[in-house]
Chain A
Amino acid sequence: ETGVTQTPRHLVMGMTNKKSLKCEQHLGHNAMYWYKQSAKKPLELMFVYSLEERVENNSVPSRFSPECPNSSHLFLHLHTLQPEDSALYLCASSLFLAGGSYNEQFFGPGTRLTVL
């Protein structure tokens, strides 16, 4: 596996279900991100982790719960979601969180989530 991988690629869940999205980066990066991509809207940054420590929670509802057990893995735990949470959830990673030079974010293929 190379780059950033995400599983599952597609997920359909009811509003009362609990599910988890998984992201793994094979790039040796120290920072990881969760984004939400909805139709006709810009990518929305949800959570940011640096060296397994959460550094950003962008006013995300508590029904989304992130977990970063190590610098290579990132999870997004979902429970009691709403239909408006249906979207493409993208994971990204970067070598560092920030610095004086450009810090590219590498994206995974995303998980297409549908909430019924």
Chain B
Amino acid sequence: QKEVEQDPGPLSVPEGAIVSLNCTYSNSAFQYFMWYRQYSRKGPELLMYTYSSGNKEDGRFTAQVDKSSKYISLFIRDSQPSDSATYLCAMSFSGTYKYIFGTGTRLKVLA
């Protein structure tokens, strides 16, 4: 079983839709949960991170962590064509530099 599972997509949605991106994981010791966005021909950039459980909101983006289910989500409200990118989830233990990444989900928002 992979440590982090992420559906590769592609996921196509119309402009204005609510997008839900998800990852599952197997190691209950993960403490930090990150979402990175990667545009074509660019490096990943951090969108949000969450420590332990709970929700975090930043503009149109909401990150959720459910440690009991070992499941994390990123919601994008009012999606825009500029949100078209690959979204990578990543996780780490407290006090370590090692990130465990998902394979990424490719998202297309159609105008």
> Is the CB–CB distance between A102 and B49 below 8 Å?
yes
Q: Mark A1-28, 1 if CB is under 8 A from B, else 0.
A: 0001010000000000000000000000
Per-residue CB contact flags for chain A residues 82-116 toward chain B (1 = under 8 Å, else 0) read 00000000101010011110111111111010000
Residue in A33, A42, A90, A104 whose CB lies within 8 Å of B102? A42
B contact residues around A81 at 8 Å (CB): none
A interface residues, how many (CB within 8 angstroms): 28
Residues of B27-71 at the interface with A, using a CB-CB cut-off of 8 Å, are 32, 36, 41-46, 49, 51
Q: Is the CB of A43 within 8 A of B97?
A: no
**Chain B nearest CB, measured from A8 CB (Å):** 13
Knowing A107-B44, A107-B45, A109-B43, say if A98 contacts B96 (CB, 8 Å): yes
CB of B26 within 8 Å of the partner chain: no
Q: Is B100's CB under 8 angstroms from A4's CB? A: no
| A102 CB contacts on chain B under 8 angstroms | 32, 49, 51
B103 located at the interface, meaning its Cβ lies under 8 Å from any Cβ of chain A in the complex: yes
Could you say which residues of chain B place their CB within 8 Å of the CB of A51? Answer: none
Interface residues of B in 85-111 (CB under 8 A from A): 88, 90, 94-104
22 A–B contact pairs at CB < 8 A? A6-B43, A31-B97, A40-B8, A40-B103, A42-B4, A42-B101, A42-B102, A42-B104, A43-B44, A43-B90, A43-B101, A90-B44, A92-B43, A98-B96, A99-B95, A100-B95, A104-B46, A105-B97, A105-B99, A107-B36, A109-B43, A112-B41
Other CB < 8 Å A-B pairs besides A43-B101, A106-B46, 9 of them? A42-B100, A43-B44, A90-B44, A94-B97, A97-B97, A98-B95, A98-B97, A102-B51, A112-B41
